[in-house]
Structure 1
Amino acid sequence: MTDIAMHGHGVRGMKPETLHSFDGIGDPGKFGVMFPNLLPLSASDDALAELAAAMLDKLDAKSNPDPAGDNRNIPAGYTYLGQFVDHDITLDTTPLDQQKADPKATTNFRTPALDLDSVYGDGPGIHPYLYQRDPGQPRIIGKMLIGHTGESGDQNGRAIPSLPNDLPRNQVGHALIFDERNDENLLVGQMHLLMLKFHNKVFDKLAVEQPNLSDGERFSEARRIVTWHYQWIVLFDFVERLTEPGLIQRIKQEGRRFYRFKQRPYMPAEFAAACYRLGHSMVRQTYSHNQVFNPTEDSIANGTLGLLFFFTGKSGSIVGELAPPPPNGPPPALQTALPSNWVIDWRRFFDLGTPAGGNFALNLSRRLDPMITPALHTLPGLTPNAPPQQVREFNLAFRNLRRGVQIGLPSGQAVCRAMGLTPLKPSQVATGPDGKAAKKHGLHEETPLWYYVLKEAEHFHKGERLGPMASIIVAETFLGMVHGDHESFLWQQSDWKPELPGAQPGHFTMADLIRFVGDIDPVGKALEQVLEPQP
């Protein structure tokens, strides 16, 4: 492998034609902008509030999302993989109610990298509470700590025992994880748990295949394998679903044109406050969570977004009326763990090839378009009969639009012109009820960047993937974060291919990760054992 000197550093495994990717606006720090010379868009709060109110997704008579708005190319699990990734690249352990004090996230904010520090912290030596101890001995082994659920029941009165399927928690239910934002809704919490189990599975695999490694060596090698496969998934499974197949490889070969730095990656405002907020459009109002909680009649209740926030330690409560005690058992005075009947069925969130039928269905994400699910228009905490100016403060679409104006983002059209792309015509922005509201305030001519990203995806690809401007910004930013990480596979071994088994040799997806971990439908497996005839 050839070392190429640049800026006084060795850049291993990179081809000469990619080196210009590191030249550009210098190192702006942890937060910066891709297009520093563009003028900020100005818009009044009233105009933004009216636009936000028009960005309302449709529900059917049973409050389920209109199937016409589903994105058949992106299963719903990628919505929450995206949130997990966001918490990894913008690691901020400030309590949620204090983060508003720093709208640009310039403090308590680590250099963006896909390094899973939200899972590993600073390792067993600095954050031992994240790791398992050897039974009977004081030493910490290199496996992640796993929590257990509380016993509960299903809709037919059958007991579901405690399962090793919760985040580790203390005696009052607080999750023992490095970034507490990963306990703010149940789906991102279960995603975090999946990554903990992924590490442990790799650790155990190494114990068999390389028994001479010390615990420390095995931990380091397991972390490398997990992190590199995670980086691969983000680039070639997640980002390329959002953009287009082959885009990452093409940018890798040709070099980044807009997300450029000399030595250290930064978080671009155009990405963080606009393009990567695409996930808010992907959120569903309800989910078929498992065989106990789903939209069918054969369930305890529908898997609503509200309940997925309720059954957490960060945003809600892990104690609830929909967590019944085991049959014939006393009701618990206080439950400090997730009820076992709320453990996720991964087949419903990623396509593992399971055919639909009965109460099983694969959840699809919502289209990448301006329509935002009603639950995100009325965030928790809104008081009854609140005045309109207070109501809009609890509308996530309004918050996103106003945040863009507050931090000085340019319009979507200005960004397109700076990138050499032809912007959408005003008439193309002004379509639909949301476009009508935009046109009323002149926002169809110079459009808020976040709204433009969604409108661009709707116009070019019917909301199935991002349009040209947002695709380039998202792909270049993620590729640059991995490029700029000296521990990443692109830096260490740019021609590396996944070494763990996948459905396609040399490739690794979220579906492959779930199959490798093997804990696909814990609730279904537990109920099957209940139904087995006793000897």
Structure 2
Amino acid sequence: MPELLAAVARDQCLSRVRAADRPIGAARYGHMFPGLEPLVTDPGLLMRAGDNGGVCAADPSACECPADDATEAAGWPFFGQLVAHDITADRSPVAGGVDPEALRNARAPRLNLEMIYADGPIGAPYLFDLDDPAKFLLSRDGGDVPRNRQGVALIGDPRNDVHLFSLALHVALLHAHNGLVDLLRSNDVPEPDVFDRARITLIWHYQWIVVHEFLPRLVGGALVDEMLAEGGRFFTPHPAGAYIPLEFADAAYRYGHGQIRHAYRLVAGGPQFPLFPDLAGFGPPAPDRRLDLSQIFDVPGRPPAQRAKRLDGRLPASLIGLPERVTGAVSAAAHRSLASRDLLRGGSTGLPSGEAVAELIGVAPLTPDELGQAWPGGTPLWLYILKEAECRGAGDRLGPVGGRIVAEVLIGLLRADPASYLSLDPGWSPSLPAAGATFGISDLITLAG
């Protein structure tokens, strides 16, 4: 077989991945900075800050102002959301009554595309083509996942059906897997190995994108290089005890909420729509609501994509007033605000203040002028990280606190996963076709067709 699929297509590597890629049982959450005191803030203050008119609500008059655009393309926070769905799933309530020690993660803490593969053709046969079980089943026109007669998605993670963008990326991954199956068969790979080889190939290329494209755009190349060379200072999980830090899940990795645009164009020259309620999911996409992924990612030969919103600690109206089909029934109107939910979540899981984390990792905390207001006892970590990105990352990338948490966790999880490319073959690099110097998200989109 040609070197097109590199090490992941070799029999020896395939057997090593199969041996390492075993279920790990119920995963857990924990604190990345256990020595820091939890920040205690009045829940009423948190809800007011996140609700309409609060400090986290963007000014509607700023909608689509050029100064509101970040440097990176609009699709990257949605890619980040899929990564979140791949490694963490917390079923506990939004606020109140949360015992961090009792929380359990419904996902394995591995970047292994569990969100699309679930338990594979044997354990989740409804996701796969009955006539060709090595391939995913798609809708008749290939633009959607299959659905039952009530429109409920047959999908590896229902959260990927929450809006059009996560659904489109999920479907692209399904097409990419199916394309790899065809490619492997054309190279005479034995049929019993085709599914696993396609799965492993897609996972390793996805991991490569996370390390070499997604993270450098989000936290800066220098920090990524440091993590790869030296490892983390505060998060070095063992394979047998890998966990998701709450400072990551309930604060730093919710940065993407601050990158959501006020409105999106789905096709060139088309109208713009707010994310919610217009592009909400949990049902078949409307015929006029299909997404051209080159509108949110830069693709060679196409005009530049729309940009993400600058990080400034404020969320657009579509996230301040989420529809009920996203939140479910809520006991307080403020719980429809994603900003309120993020702030309350950090309080309920005992997160430290942003200032305390900054001092611990050895960087100067934000000043009151940078924060825009003083919080009693310290600033909630989620909001601190967004304001730090505005002031220390020019609104384009995370600052030293947020960047370190995200980089240490994602690269730490890859190092702790015995089946990842960083564990099995750190010198591996993609050999699937790439338009640029190395394989990236635009090449994955091309592979998906």
With normalisation by structure 1, the TM-score equals 0.73
Separation of aligned partners in 1, 2:165 and 2:74? 10
| Per-residue deviation, 1:502 | 1.2
Q: Which residue in 2 is equivalent to 1:145?
A: 137
Q: Which ranges of structure 1 fall in alignment gaps of 5 or more residues?
A: 1-11, 13-27, 135-139, 149-162, 296-301, 319-336, 383-388, 430-434, 519-535
Q: 1:370 aligns with which of 308, 313, 324?
A: 313
Structure 1 residues 232 and 79, CA gap change in structure 2 (3 angstroms) = same
Q: 1:282 aligns with which of 250, 255, 259?
A: 259
Q: Which residue in 1 is equivalent to 2:111?
A: 114
Q: Which residue in 2 is equivalent to 1:90?
A: 88
Q: Which residue in 2 is equivalent to 1:516?
A: 447
Paired positions, count: 417
Structure 1 residues 292 and 100, CA gap change in structure 2 (3 angstroms) = farther
Structure 1 residues 483 and 130, CA gap change in structure 2 (3 angstroms) = same
Alignment check: 8 A CA contact 2:28 2:244 kept: yes
Separation of aligned partners in 2, 1:169 and 1:58? 38
Tell me the alpha carbon deviations over residues 281-334 of structure 1, each in whole angstroms, 9 at most, x when there is no partner. Answer: 011121001258523xxxxxx46531110xx2x2xxx4xxxxxxxxxxxxxxxx
Return the letter of the residue paired with 1:463. G
Structure 1 residues 75 and 103, CA gap change in structure 2 (3 angstroms) = farther
SS at structure 1 position matched to 2:129: strand
| Per-residue deviation, 1:98 | 10
Q: Which residue in 1 is equivalent to 2:361?
A: 419
Q: Does 1:497 align with 2:429?
A: yes
Q: Which has the higher contact order (CA 8 A, sep 6+)?
A: 2
Alignment check: 8 A CA contact 1:401 1:450 kept: yes
Structure 1 residues 419 and 71, CA gap change in structure 2 (3 angstroms) = same
Alignment check: 8 A CA contact 2:164 2:285 kept: no
Alignment check: 8 A CA contact 1:59 1:66 kept: no
Structure 1 residues 305 and 465, CA gap change in structure 2 (3 angstroms) = same
Question: Among the aligned pairs, what percent are the same residue?
Answer: 36
Separation of aligned partners in 2, 1:240 and 1:204? 32
| Per-residue deviation, 1:381 | 3.4
Q: Which residue in 1 is equivalent to 2:406?
A: 474
Q: 2:291 aligns with which of 341, 344, 364?
A: 344
Alignment check: 8 A CA contact 1:202 1:222 kept: yes
Separation of aligned partners in 2, 1:351 and 1:425? 36
Structure 1 residues 176 and 100, CA gap change in structure 2 (3 angstroms) = farther
Alignment check: 8 A CA contact 1:199 1:223 kept: yes
Separation of aligned partners in 1, 2:77 and 2:431? 26
SS at structure 2 position matched to 1:54: coil
Separation of aligned partners in 2, 1:120 and 1:84? 13
Q: 1:49 aligns with which of 47, 50, 55?
A: 47
Tell me the alpha carbon deviations over residues 13-55 of structure 1, each in whole angstroms, 9 at most, x when there is no partner. Answer: xxxxxxxxxxxxxxx9610011111111111123223432122
Return the letter of the residue paired with 2:130. R
Tell me the alpha carbon deviations over residues 476-515 of structure 1, each in whole angstroms, 9 at most, x when there is no partner. Answer: 100011111111101110110012111234x221111112
Separation of aligned partners in 1, 2:35 and 2:308? 36
Structure 1 residues 100 and 487, CA gap change in structure 2 (3 angstroms) = farther
Q: CA RMSD in A?
A: 2.7
Q: Does 1:449 align with 2:344?
A: no
Q: Superposition pairs for residues 201-350 of structure 1, below 5 Å? A: 201-209=179-187, 211-214=188-191, 216-263=192-239, 264-291=241-268, 293-295=270-272, 302=273, 304-309=275-280, 312=281, 314=282, 318=283, 337-350=284-297
Alignment check: 8 A CA contact 1:235 1:248 kept: yes
Tell me the alpha carbon deviations over residues 241-282 of structure 1, each in whole angstroms, 9 at most, x when there is no partner. Answer: 111024323211112111122333210011111100001001
Separation of aligned partners in 1, 2:153 and 2:171? 11
Separation of aligned partners in 2, 1:196 and 1:45? 41
Q: Does 1:410 align with 2:352?
A: yes
Structure 1 residues 196 and 91, CA gap change in structure 2 (3 angstroms) = farther
Separation of aligned partners in 2, 1:133 and 1:226? 21
Alignment check: 8 A CA contact 1:91 1:118 kept: no
Tell me the alpha carbon deviations over residues 401-453 of structure 1, each in whole angstroms, 9 at most, x when there is no partner. Answer: 12111111111111111112221223332xxxxx2xx32x436xx21111110
Separation of aligned partners in 2, 1:240 and 1:212? 35
| Per-residue deviation, 1:390 | 2.9
Separation of aligned partners in 2, 1:171 and 1:123? 23
Alignment check: 8 A CA contact 1:76 1:363 kept: yes
Q: Does 1:168 align with 2:167?
A: no
Separation of aligned partners in 1, 2:138 and 2:56? 40
SS at structure 1 position matched to 2:108: coil
Tell me the alpha carbon deviations over residues 162-192 of structure 1, each in whole angstroms, 9 at most, x when there is no partner. Answer: x321111122211111211111111111111
Alignment check: 8 A CA contact 1:281 1:367 kept: yes
Q: Which ranges of structure 2 fall in alignment gaps of 5 or more residues?
A: 1-15, 17-25, 326-330
Return the letter of the residue paired with 1:515. T
Structure 1 residues 97 and 47, CA gap change in structure 2 (3 angstroms) = closer
Q: Does 1:65 align with 2:74?
A: no
| Per-residue deviation, 1:102 | 6.0
Q: Which moved more, 1:457-466 or 1:417-426?
A: 417-426
Return the letter of the residue paired with 1:254. E
Return the letter of the residue paired with 1:147. S
Return the letter of the residue paired with 1:347. S
Separation of aligned partners in 2, 1:147 and 1:124? 17
Return the letter of the residue paired with 1:122. D
Separation of aligned partners in 1, 2:223 and 2:186? 38
Separation of aligned partners in 2, 1:145 and 1:262? 36
Separation of aligned partners in 1, 2:195 and 2:270? 37
Q: Which residue in 1 is equivalent to 2:127?
A: 130
